[in-house]
Amino acid sequence: MNIYEQQASNRRTTVLILAAFAAFFLVIGLGFDYFYFNFGRDLTSVGDLANTAYQESVAPGRYQGGGNNVPFGTILALIVSAGLMLNSYFNGARMVLRSTMARRANPLDEREKQFINVVTEMATASGLPAPAAYIVPDQDLNAFATGTSPANSVIAVTEGLLVSLNREELQAVVAHEMGHVRNYDIRLMTVVAALMGAIALLSDFAGRSSRYRGRSAYRGSSSGGSNRRSGGGGAALLFLLWIVLVLLAPLISRILAMAISRQREFLADATGAELTRNPEGLISALEKIRAAVMPTNAVNNGVAHMCIADPRGSLIEEKSGFAADLLATHPPMEKRILALKAMAYRAGNPAPVRGM
């Protein structure tokens, strides 16, 4: 995959993610109408649910069912989801920075000035405008990039990274992040981070309220005391499915985010090496980052997929196999280093020692 294919694929995936998010909200909204407001409850067959949904969307309110006429839940869900999507696009970067407590790099500090200089150098190498340089107050070694386009992008590194890495290694890490910027990975990753936070919040809320509602619904249908219940077993099954979907949403969204992130790391590594023409720098930086396995406390789970190395500090990355593949945000460090070494070897010169 070259960089243009990568950019196109990122644009496609971003749209896909937003569509999936909208669909998820639609399902939640429909479920709310169906189970909580008894919208369209006098239908005899559960199979008509889809039909109801269709009629709702074509002409909301015209359908004269039992209970409520207006699909409040659906309308609300659509409005909220549209708001959240716009918010994730325009405020995502700011949210990510705030959640990691990042601050702007201070040009008066010696090390931070060097970091700012390195960011400018990498911008020159890629021919893009220079991203803003941010510092995450954390002693672990990590870095990430965020923003919606190269023109308003941000590259952030931890304080620990500035202390432990030399100039060349810092340059390699910034080049890797610049790769994310150039490939438009940042927009996708930022949108995913913001939406993942929203889904976790919503699922939490829906799950908590459904614990009450679910119990009463079950009791109602088993005793047959409620005259509003007509779906019977079919409705209960549907309800169960809905609840499971809502409760599992955060997990599903996280697995999705990880899958998206993993395949992009290799390409960012390659782009970084292309910018510095020095794969060795990134190899030694990654080795230092791997050696410091402590978790990056400032980075919470929602932003994990954006970092250069898994901030949870778990050794899950070092394992391979299905479970590890599913849960890791990053490919195993060993594989990344190996790929870079192959690159350095192909570049051809293990620095011949001449002169003397």
Partner 1 sequence: MIILAIVLLALAAYLVFTFNGLVRLRNQVANAFRQIDVQLKRRHDLIPNLIESVKGEMKFERETLERVIQARAAAVTAGQGGSTHDILAKEGMLTQALGRLFALSENYPNLKANESVKKLMEELTHTENQIAFARQFYNDVVTKFNTAQQVFPTNLFAALLGFSASELWELPADSPERENPKVNLAI
Concatenating the DSSP letter of every residue in 263-323 gives HHHHHHHHHHHHHHT-HHHHHHHHHHHHH--S--TTS-GGGGGGBSS-TT--GGGG--SHH
Whichever of 57 and 124 has its CB closer to partner 1, that residue is: 124
Whichever of 56 and 121 has its CB closer to partner 1, that residue is: 121
Q: How far apart (Å, rounded) are the C-alpha atoms in residues 88 and 148? A: 10
CA dihedral angle for residue 159, residue 160, residue 162, residue 164, rounded to 10 degrees: 170
DSSP lists the bridge partners of residue 134 as: 104, 156
277 scored as a contact of partner 1 (CB under 8 A): yes
CB 80 within 8 Å of CB 133: no
Q: How far is the CB of 63 from partner 1 (least distance, A)?
A: 52
**Of 112, 177, 265, 317, catalytic:** 177
Question: Annotated catalytic, 159?
Answer: no
343 scored as a contact of partner 1 (CB under 8 A): no
Taking CB under 8 A as the criterion, the residue among 120, 278, 284, 301 binding partner 1 is 120
Taking CB under 8 A as the criterion, the residue among 45, 51, 57, 124 binding partner 1 is 124
Residue 144: closest CA among 247, 22, 348, 298: 298
Taking CB under 8 A as the criterion, the residue among 27, 93, 122, 161 binding partner 1 is 122
The dihedral region occupied by 133, where left means phi > 0, alpha psi between -120 and 50, and beta the remainder, is beta
167 scored as a contact of partner 1 (CB under 8 A): yes
Q: Which letter does DSSP use for residue 64 in this model?
A: -
Q: How far is the CB of 275 from partner 1 (least distance, A)?
A: 8
Taking CB under 8 A as the criterion, the residue among 94, 104, 113, 335 binding partner 1 is 113
103 scored as a contact of partner 1 (CB under 8 A): no
Q: How far is the CB of 235 from partner 1 (least distance, A)?
A: 60
Residue 146: closest CA among 290, 19, 308, 266: 308
351 scored as a contact of partner 1 (CB under 8 A): no
Whichever of 291 and 356 has its CB closer to partner 1, that residue is: 356
Residues binding partner 1 (CB under 8 A): 110, 113-114, 117, 120-122, 124-127, 167, 171, 275, 277, 354-356
Residues marked active site are found at 177
